[in-house]
Chain A
């Protein structure tokens, strides 16, 4: 059962009085309880998409241009400020990459969590504090009773991220958006935080949108993924199907560029497969396929027409003329 349906969403960024689409005609659904990963390089519009869903875009610099975000038959793209306030934090919440920067440095973590609870529930400060301690226990912060009165600078990065997760899950949201939640952490802590997230997810039944550039994390913890390039979805499908048979040249090259953690070690220092060039800037995007400038498979048509996302098999879709003609 789908809980969120995004339909032809366009988010625009204003630069020198011109509007450029940073999220361009994106459609997808989020199923109840699943983990949907959104991957791509910096500048692909992943975070702008997340901010659009929660309506926390830096307006008026960025705005939703068109499209619908259907949550419970309501269109969040049209929702007012007050309505969004009742949804954000309560039914849909977000954790960011840098936990240190996301917490208020001059307030104890307990007060920060309690403030969040009081905003959405009719509850006394005292009970809110009790609930904060409970939440800190739930995210396995050691000595939760004592640490509830600590300031963020007294905690490590991993502990701060646990506090952020506690806060995000305080009101048992139906959707949790995790924007690069472990990028700033060591691998050992990363594994713990990801394990914690998936355990809490199965306890609360929340759906998770995981935004990351780390495909290895996606392979191990997500159910489905969307590959974004220059603001558009170029491939989507289940993790098994996309990693097993990547159809879009961009997805293939992204996977090939990752240094492999297993397999034989050759005698020579090996070269990695690289993707030449970089994501085109907003004002340099063309009529055709945005990836055509960097693509080894591009044909003439790729530079003039834009490929649309088409289902190739089951849940697997791809937006590439070459891949689509191979399938046909």
Chain B
């Protein structure tokens, strides 16, 4: 049965009208946010102290530069390379008796300058060994964790970073290189789903962070920056920082001062509802980057160490993108400039979105047909081995459209 669009259409019209009505309110909030930015921009030390001591129920960013800073893009070098990876997966099918999954990583190397070149490929891998399917606690006491669903998504991010490090290591030395990932460098889901520490240790410390470290080490012989690109970001870290500025209490403490006040009535609620991208869309000119901010998320503070995540916003035509970079890129002015200029250059070449990420995505994407073909492949392989594939009754029922 297809979706009843007639019923939906009237609901959509209502939604559009509400969206229009909210426009005026958003505009007022944005103006207010810009005023706060301007007023408190010069008092960086005060602001940093206040963000550190505040106890908020929402995530705030610590500014490393004045809030209304904006920097035009430096010139990209004449010769440089962009490398990027992106991944997709075919998750474990819990309706099948056979447990396995696929991670497909798209790889792109784009070389610009006097000898331009491109290498575009994909690396699909089937995981079916016991060690691939579960993460086992080292002492055997805690419950082992099945690698599927959210955890598989995190493992995919680790594999993307692993592949990025592998590509970067094979490039000739002496190059200026930007290694790009899609999305965030912060593996939020590891904490939001409250995985046990041995899982974080395995995927983050011995995984993602380890591969970031591999890339960092390449800077002995080359100039390699690593960054992730978030298109149309939904984050509100900077807006939340402005809320802290607005807070009349010397040490903002949401639970202590505002727990009894209804959401929307608190003093800082005058700018809730807008996002960082709305603010920086006004503050930045095309091609400019914002001030640098340090992520205050607990996972970054606890686990990322030398790779602590910073971010800035970048205006590319009509869009504001969020760029995340590790600490060592922030501390090296050359790498920071390289990141800014090359991401902007990639966006210009890619009509608003980095070419390398776009191509890596194209290589990685797994379609519905691919999934069906993969299942058929499993069935054929099992038939050849005279084995029978057991499928759940629910799955069989979905495939068979009885009347």
Partners in one complex: no
User: Chain B interface (Cβ within 8 Å of chain A)?
Assistant: none
User: Chain A interface (Cβ within 8 Å of chain B)?
Assistant: none
